[in-house]
């Protein structure tokens, strides 16, 4: 009898535990699911310009605004993952005159992703191929206005180099290992072929008082400039010059003379203030164990410099000697056009 009672009691306990477990599972199934770890931001736009082109590449967002937009205090709008939070939030107005970050934190507070929003105006790259040139030819003695950049040029009254300021060329085929005795034609060649069509030739002066000026019709932030010595400059630095009726002979660069050449880029803003220059060595023979002459294209990056909101780029040389023919080739020029501030906005 006692055995039968014990079995019944155990059976009742089992049934009770099963009911409690089932109730617990049912309660859990009706409760909140695990929180999301997603931190996705999408569909970014400015409320004031909802039709502006927006390009998102991962966490980098670029908004292309028309040039007439001067006020960059804009209202950001975007979508984010369900349950996530954005900081600053969608709907907030911010100054987008510089790159701005948006931090998206997941619902479970375990993850955060930062997204970066930049405003760009059209015309961020000057295309030299807009100028029509016959194959293996050049133009000089006339101004080249390309979108927002103006390259001034005039015919030179004397000397080997046939222009002052800027020229345009698409000549190719210079051989560094077979420099001709008459180097005058090399003024129209880059020291290295670009393979990209037209390029600009800049006749640069020695010292800031003789700077060559590239003008912009709107304030710009410089991004990059790709340049190389002209074939003429390379040949004169490498081998010197034998001399002619107007130019005396001179020797090529050497460590004995401690030769060097630096190209300087100096910005001027709309108020005429001269900004801190960027210096780039094109040749250095000051140390015998480490001499070089640059003979190829080099892309110079300006984003980390203070050359922002400039209306002029002044280019000049500093060097151990002023003998060498100061002509450079420019193959690419990229920049971001900035809003033109009106007097009423600046008050």
Task: CATH number of the domain at 100, please.
Answer: 2.60.40.2340
Give the model's pLDDT for residue 139. Answer: 95
Q: What is the distance between the terminal CA atoms of the chain, rounded to a whole angstrom?
A: 103
Instruction: Give yes or no: residues 78 and 171 share one domain.
Output: no
Instruction: Give yes or no: residues 54 and 170 share one domain.
Output: no
Boundary-marking domain end, from 86, 120, 154: 120
Local confidence pLDDT in tens for the 347 residues of the chain? 555 555 555 545 555 555 444 555 444 444 456 789 999 999 999 999 999 999 999 999 999 988 778 788 999 999 999 999 999 999 999 988 778 999 999 999 999 999 999 888 776 778 788 888 999 999 999 998 887 889 999 999 878 999 999 999 999 999 999 999 999 999 999 999 876 689 999 999 999 999 999 999 888 888 899 999 999 999 999 999 998 888 999 999 999 999 999 999 999 998 899 988 899 999 999 998 899 999 999 999 987 777 888 999 999 999 999 999 999 999 989 888 876 544 444 33
CA distance 312 to 175: 34
Instruction: Confirm whether 23 is domain-assigned.
Output: no
SS (H, E, C) 109-168: CCCEEEEEEEEECCCCECCHHHCCCCCCCEEECCCEEECCEEECEEECCCCCCCEEEEEE
Give the model's pLDDT for residue 23. Answer: 53
User: Residue 300 sits in a domain of what CATH number?
Assistant: 2.60.120.1350
What's the gap between Cα 25 and its chain centre? 58
Instruction: Confirm whether 68 is domain-assigned.
Output: yes
Boundary-marking domain end, from 76, 101, 120: 120
Instruction: Please give the residue range of the domain that contains residue 143.
Output: 128-337
Give the model's pLDDT for residue 319. Answer: 97
Instruction: Give yes or no: residues 109 and 133 share one domain.
Output: no
Give the model's pLDDT for residue 300. Answer: 93
Instruction: Give yes or no: residues 272 and 149 share one domain.
Output: yes
Instruction: Give yes or no: residues 172 and 94 share one domain.
Output: no
Q: How many domains does the chain have?
A: 2
Instruction: Confirm whether 20 is domain-assigned.
Output: no
CA distance 222 to 54: 22
Give the model's pLDDT for residue 315. Answer: 97
Dihedral of alpha carbons 114, 120, 124, 130, sign: positive
Instruction: Give yes or no: residues 190 and 309 share one domain.
Output: yes
CA distance 137 to 85: 59
Give the model's pLDDT for residue 14. Answer: 57
Structure tokens at 71: 């006020």
Instruction: Give yes or no: residues 115 and 158 share one domain.
Output: no
Question: Environment class of residue 169 by beta-carbon count within 10 Å: exposed (0-12), middle (13-18) or buried (19+)?
Answer: buried
Say whether the peptide bond before residue 88 is cis (omega within 30 degrees of 0). Answer: yes
Boundary-marking domain end, from 120, 149, 183: 120
Of all helices (H) and strands (E), which one includes residue 223?
A: strand 212-229
3-state secondary structure of 9: helix
């Amino acid at each position: 009898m006692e055995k039968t009672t014990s079995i019944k009691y155990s059976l009742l306990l089992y049934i009770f535990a099963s009911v409690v477990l089932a109730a617990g599972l049912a309660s859990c199934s009706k409760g909140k699911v695990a929180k999301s770890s997603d931190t996705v931001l999408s569909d970014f736009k400015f409320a004031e310009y909802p039709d502006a082109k927006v390009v998102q590449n991962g966490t980098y967002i670029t908004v292309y605004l028309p040039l007439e937009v001067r006020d960059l205090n804009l209202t950001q709008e975007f979508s984010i993952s369900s349950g996530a939070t954005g900081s600053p939030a969608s709907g907030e107005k911010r100054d987008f005159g510089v790159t701005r970050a948006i931090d998206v934190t997941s619902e479970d507070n375990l993850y955060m992703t930062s997204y970066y929003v930049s405003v760009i105006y059209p015309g961020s790259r000057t295309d030299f191929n807009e100028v029509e040139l016959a194959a293996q030819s050049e133009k000089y003695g006339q101004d080249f206005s390309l979108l927002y950049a103006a390259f001034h040029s005039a015919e030179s009254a004397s000397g080997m180099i046939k222009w002052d300021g800027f020229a345009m060329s698409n000549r190719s085929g210079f051989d560094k290992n077979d420099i001709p005795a008459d180097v005058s034609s090399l003024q129209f060649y880059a020291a290295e072929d670009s393979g990209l069509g037209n390029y600009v030739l800049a006749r640069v002066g020695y010292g800031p008082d003789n700077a060559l000026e590239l003008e912009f019709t709107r304030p710009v932030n410089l991004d990059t400039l790709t340049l190389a010595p002209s074939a003429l400059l390379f040949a004169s630095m490498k081998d010197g010059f034998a001399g002619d009726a107007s130019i005396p002979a001179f020797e090529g660069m050497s460590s004995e003379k401690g030769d060097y050449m630096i190209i300087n880029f100096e910005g001027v803003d709309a108020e005429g203030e001269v900004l801190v220059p960027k210096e780039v060595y094109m040749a250095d023979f000051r140390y015998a164990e480490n001499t070089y002459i640059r003979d190829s294209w080099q892309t110079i990056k300006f984003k980390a410099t203070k050359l922002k909101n400039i209306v002029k780029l002044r280019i000049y040389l500093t060097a151990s000697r002023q003998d060498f023919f100061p002509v450079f080739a420019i193959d690419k020029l990229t920049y971001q056009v900035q809003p033109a501030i009106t007097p009423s906005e600046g008050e």
